[in-house]
Amino acid sequence: MRILITGGSGYKGSVLIPLLLKEGHIITSIDTEWFGHSLPEHPNLNTIRFDIRNTQNIPLKDIEVIIHLANIANDPSVELNPLLSWDVNVLAGYRLIDRAYRNGVKQFIYASSGSVYGIKNEEKVTEELQLLPISTYNETKMIAERVFLSYKEKMHVHCIRPATVCGISPRMRLDTAVNLLTFQALSTGKMNVLGGDQVRPNIHIKDMANVYLHFLNNSDLPSGCYNAGFENCSILNIANRIKKIIKADIIVKESNDPRSYRIDSSKILKTGFSPQYGIDEAINQIAKAFHSGDLEDNPRFYNSKWMKSLNLESQSST
């Protein structure tokens, strides 16, 4: 299949694209490459350094499916320039799906987020619950979902709401819970846990890539939103799991952010998807990469700090 991936050079895209190439797909990846470029050279891969806000010029000829990953991708990065984030995460997405439909694209898969629910007391946070986003990032995700789903009579639209992703990618992120604590343990022998009781849902990056592949292979699944997170775990529990694998002390400090959230992924499991990896694999893989010298600290691995250094705060919105 001919697939356009936006944000293909990011943390997820750099694992997803090699998987899709292996499956024989023909990929065009567009990305501003704010965090560099770690994609392989491949005859079936065309990478274009490009901003999705220039929507009119995104090459859509013969594209059958779009996997839309390009967003300002966490709360603190969005706060650097909320207007830029609305432009990228919502307006550019709207223009993209509208052009996609007019160009005969059959399926649109969107990387939403499990954080759209906000804080819930319910034990099972399913797709039916009301969304109460608690940050601008969450709001952009919620509004973008609504825009994309307004096209569901015209094409298949699958909005995936992933948990926090963990594990190794050629374009690494060390600003997400499991990755951050594991790297702290490896590099300093200590993990700083703020609070610790807060629950977070998690998904391994290889399962994440497999989720997108699952929807590609089952494009006639009903349009709609699907949670994707298979381990709800407190931060302290994550630290203890790391401690079992890496010798490190846990230092618990007071937190001013006691928020917990979890997601229930029964809906996607009922479609036949089953996760194959978990938090422990992610910890082991990060440790292995660290010990072999393949993973070193790098300012690019921390989204908001790196984006601050790119001075995107001052970039005008379109």
Each residue 58-77 as x (binds ligand NAD by CB under 6 A) or -, in order, gives -----------xxx-x----
Each residue 106-125 as x (binds ligand NAD by CB under 6 A) or -, in order, gives -----x-x------------
Q: How many residues bind ligand NAD (CB under 6 A)?
A: 30
SS3 track for 177-215: HHHHHHHHHHHHCEEEEECCCCEEEEEEHHHHHHHHHHH
SS3 at position 292: coil
DSSP conformation class of 249: E
Residue 45, Cα to own-chain centre: how many angstroms? 21
List the interface residues with ligand NAD, window 289-308 (CB under 6 A): 303
Amino acid occupying residue 166: C
SS3 at position 26: strand
Give 170 or 196: the residue with its C-beta nearer to ligand NAD: 170
Sheet with strand 2-6: strands edge to edge: 45-49, 26-31, 2-6, 65-68, 107-111, 156-162, 224-228
Verify binding: residue 88, ligand NAD, rule CB under 6 A: yes
Give 9 or 285: the residue with its C-beta nearer to ligand NAD: 9
Give Cα separations from 181 to 47, 172, 232, 273 (angstroms): 32, 14, 16, 28
Give 54 or 190: the residue with its C-beta nearer to ligand NAD: 54
Verify binding: residue 158, ligand NAD, rule CB under 6 A: no
Contacts of 230 (CB under 8 A, 6+ apart): 163, 201, 202, 203, 207, 265, 275, 278
Give 176 or 184: the residue with its C-beta nearer to ligand NAD: 176
Verify binding: residue 32, ligand NAD, rule CB under 6 A: yes
Per CB under 6 A, the list member of 53, 158, 200, 206 interacting with ligand NAD is 53
Per CB under 6 A, the list member of 18, 162, 167, 201 interacting with ligand NAD is 162
d(CA 186, CA 181): 9
Per CB under 6 A, the list member of 3, 52, 60, 287 interacting with ligand NAD is 52
Nearest to 35 by CA among 318, 284, 290, 303: 303
Each residue 2-21 as x (binds ligand NAD by CB under 6 A) or -, in order, gives ----xx-xxxxx--------
Q: Which helix (H) or strand (E) holds 47?
A: strand 45-49
Give 95 or 156: the residue with its C-beta nearer to ligand NAD: 95
List the interface residues with ligand NAD, window 208-247 (CB under 6 A): none
Which residues are near ligand NAD by CB under 6 A? 6-7, 9-13, 30-35, 51-53, 69-71, 73, 88, 111, 113, 162, 164-165, 171, 173, 176, 303
